[in-house]
Structure 1
Amino acid sequence: MRRYGTALAAFSACALAGVLFAFALASGVGAQGLATTGSTTEPAPPALIPPGVTIGGIAVGGLSPEAATFTVQERFEQGLPLIFNGRPRLAPSPYALGATVRIEQAVERARNAQPGDEVGLTVLINGDTTRDYVQSVARRFNRESVDAALVLHKLRPKIVPERMGVTILRADLTATIHRRLTAMSRVPVKIRTQKSRPELTHRAFRTTIVIHRGSNRLELFNYQRLRKRFRVATGEKVYPTPLGRFRVVVKWRNPWWYPPNSRWAKGLKPVPPGPNNPLGSRWMGLSVPGVGIHGTPNGGSIGYSVSHGCIRMYIPDAEWLFNTVDVGSQVFIVSA
């Protein structure tokens, strides 16, 4: 009877152990776990970069390698602002400027650095790519100088102002971009330029003469403003004053008059300066042979088309005009 009881107790213990083992399997706990009272083992967290460490001036201390890589990559990919005429005009990516960076190697060095260390960041630059980009900037912003121009608009002179030329200093811009990229700096770059002056400015058109052949009047303009108007005589029908655009090429005081090679002057002799000189006391020759603006002793001809092509003025008017206009002054002769 005692042996029977002992066997029954052993059977019950085995049965209980089997139940507990099955429960442990279902719960994902090994037999060893049941035999110990310790907690389960978890994977070790990734090693963080020591505090105070920077990569290329970017703080990465306390970050995981993955987070540090992302932070440096994000900063590197920021565009570099380019300033032209005081305004941001472009912000190319470093890749467009030919730059690449070795972030993984820098992060690996940062992991093994001492707290507070500065880890350098290697930025590689393709010089040809940078120069090509700078050349595209020059094509966009370079501007040739343009001379001032004078046109006749509604029978009045109109000055189209000159324009300064602008040339990008390409070597300077290339070098500055290189320095910014290698230093991981995104401080805006001011595009430096060189200005070039046009040969002809608006000052060349200080005085302009407009002669109205049909109404026998001469108008003097100071730049674009009418300064004075005169009655004149112009060429008769057989010897008309030419129409077009001319300029004053010579100015003579007390000129001699020489007979031109023309039928009407056949047999005439030169006339020295004096009261009987057909040119009066002043001659302003135009850029057309044999034609000029001059005084006349024959005041009665003023207001009529009676000359041999020249523009006659009262002698005091011719002297005043002579002192006012310059050699090179533009002269428009119109039919109105």
Structure 2
Amino acid sequence: MGRKSWIAVITIVVLVLGAVGAAYAYDSSHKDEIAQGITIGDVDVGGLTVAQAEAKLRRQLVDPLRESLVVKFDGDSWRLDGEKLKIHADLEPAIAEALERSQEGGVPGRLARYVSGDEIEESIQPQISFSGGAINRFVRHVAAEINREPENASVEPASDSLEIVSGHEGRKLRDNLLTEELSAAVLGGGNRKIKARVHATEPEVTKREIAARYPSYLTLDRANFKLRLWQGLKLTKTYTVAVGQEGLETPEGLYEIQVKEENPIWHVPESDWAGDLAGETIPPGPSNPIKARWMAIYEGAGIHGTEEVESLGSAASHGCVRMAIADVEELYDMVEVGTPIFIG
């Protein structure tokens, strides 16, 4: 081999060794970097060192997870402070896995990627934990604010009228769904504002159904001495009655018929007005002023018949409601024990 040939060979060897050395030197300077294309928790960490990757992950992944969560409903909002979530992200194993994947293929594989620009398509999910108890307590608080029991339709009585009050739906927070959505928001790091959703709960009694609950209802207008019978909440009868005199007024308020008796015995109350009869028991007959029927409503007061028809339309009794005998017999058959009576 001539001298020129040797020089050419040596030159080629030197160039090859130089190129190999340069390649190894380049690889050595980049071997602690994470390969392009690798993400951790959807954060691109390609080309970063361990320290750089950790800093970027804390800034772009962990810090957003510590932001407060907000639940909104019908113009109201509730906030769960991020610090109460106690977010913990175990980044070291994820970064170590990313670095290990970056070393695959050894020096030749890494050099090939450096030259070709190929990437390792790898998505690594770090272990992230948070306080589930904090979310559960928060959801219970929101539920207490949102939940509302349904209200049945009801009757608002007055001395001469009955008003039907409409009921309304209740609502119940879909608490399991909200817990899931909040947990997903914590880990997802996306939208931290969640709209609460509810179930509607129907009342047991609607406005259409309320009348069936009241086959009979009584109202007493003491000022005008009128006792009214309502059936199915519609006025069917109006009676002229006597009510309690001054000092012995028929009691005001909402009561119900407690007892019904035909031809009742009179248990004379221990009251001054009863005189010598106080505490006595008077059987049916001429000396018993409680005629024909008795419907007790409150502490000795009740509705009964009277022969003193001239007292009707006045305040003449000792607290009871007096009716004509024919009227009280008619009314007796149209009401049951438990029938409400509003005295106004």
Compute the TM-score of the two structures, normalised by the length of structure 1: 0.55
Please point out which of 72, 77, 88 is paired with 1:100. Answer: 88
- Corresponding residue of 2:8: none
Check whether the contact 2:71–2:77 (CA below 8 A) recurs between aligned residues. Answer: yes
Check whether the contact 1:246–1:288 (CA below 8 A) recurs between aligned residues. Answer: no
My pick for the range that moved more, 185-194 or 315-324, is: 185-194
**What is the aligned-residue RMSD (CA, Å)?**
5.5
1:8-45 superposed Cα distances (whole Å, 9 cap, x missing partner): xxxxxxxxxxxxxxxxxxxxxxxxxxxxxxxxxxxx99
- Corresponding residue of 2:127: 122
Please point out which of 230, 237, 247 is paired with 2:255. Answer: 247
Compute the TM-score of the two structures, normalised by the length of structure 2: 0.54
1:77-103 superposed Cα distances (whole Å, 9 cap, x missing partner): 566564668x88446465443323345
**3-state SS of 2:220 partner:** strand
Distance 1:293 1:63 in 2: 96
1:87-137 superposed Cα distances (whole Å, 9 cap, x missing partner): 884464654433233457645644554733331222122455445544543
Structure with the higher fraction of residues in helix conformation: 2
Change over 3 Å in CA distance of 1:321–1:48 after alignment to 2? farther
Matches within 5 A, 1:36-55: 49-51=35-37, 53-55=38-40
- Per the TM alignment, residue 246 of structure 1 is displaced from its structure 2 partner at its CA by 5.1
- Corresponding residue of 2:293: 282
Please point out which of 243, 257, 269 is paired with 2:265. Answer: 257
Unmatched runs of 5 consecutive residues or more in structure 1:
1-43
- Per the TM alignment, residue 232 of structure 1 is displaced from its structure 2 partner at its CA by 0.9
Check whether the contact 1:73–1:103 (CA below 8 A) recurs between aligned residues. Answer: no
Change over 3 Å in CA distance of 1:280–1:60 after alignment to 2? farther
Unmatched runs of 5 consecutive residues or more in structure 2:
1-28, 103-119
My pick for the range that moved more, 70-79 or 306-315, is: 70-79
- Per the TM alignment, residue 49 of structure 1 is displaced from its structure 2 partner at its CA by 5.0
> What amino acid is aligned across from residue 61 of structure 2 in structure 1?
V
Check whether the contact 1:235–1:241 (CA below 8 A) recurs between aligned residues. Answer: yes
Check whether the contact 1:172–1:192 (CA below 8 A) recurs between aligned residues. Answer: no
**3-state SS of 1:241 partner:** coil
Check whether the contact 2:159–2:220 (CA below 8 A) recurs between aligned residues. Answer: no
Matches within 5 A, 1:52-71: 53-56=38-41, 58=42, 60=44, 65=53, 70-71=59-60
> What amino acid is aligned across from residue 266 of structure 2 in structure 1?
Y
For the pair 1:229 / 2:217, whether they are aligned, the reply is: no
Check whether the contact 1:246–1:330 (CA below 8 A) recurs between aligned residues. Answer: yes
Check whether the contact 2:90–2:128 (CA below 8 A) recurs between aligned residues. Answer: yes
- Per the TM alignment, residue 285 of structure 1 is displaced from its structure 2 partner at its CA by 0.3
**3-state SS of 2:121 partner:** coil
Distance 1:181 1:47 in 2: 29
1:292-323 superposed Cα distances (whole Å, 9 cap, x missing partner): 11234554543233434321223454345445
Check whether the contact 1:248–1:330 (CA below 8 A) recurs between aligned residues. Answer: yes
- Corresponding residue of 1:270: 283
Distance 2:227 2:293 in 1: 16
For the pair 1:292 / 2:302, whether they are aligned, the reply is: yes
**3-state SS of 2:142 partner:** helix
Percent identical pairs in the alignment equals 22
Change over 3 Å in CA distance of 1:299–1:264 after alignment to 2? farther
Higher radius of gyration, 1 or 2: 1
1:208-254 superposed Cα distances (whole Å, 9 cap, x missing partner): 544233421123467987665321122345x7333322522423242
For the pair 1:76 / 2:65, whether they are aligned, the reply is: yes
My pick for the range that moved more, 318-327 or 115-124, is: 318-327
Check whether the contact 1:208–1:220 (CA below 8 A) recurs between aligned residues. Answer: yes
Change over 3 Å in CA distance of 1:110–1:212 after alignment to 2? same
- Corresponding residue of 1:303: 313
Distance 2:198 2:87 in 1: 22
Check whether the contact 2:266–2:288 (CA below 8 A) recurs between aligned residues. Answer: no
Distance 1:283 1:90 in 2: 59
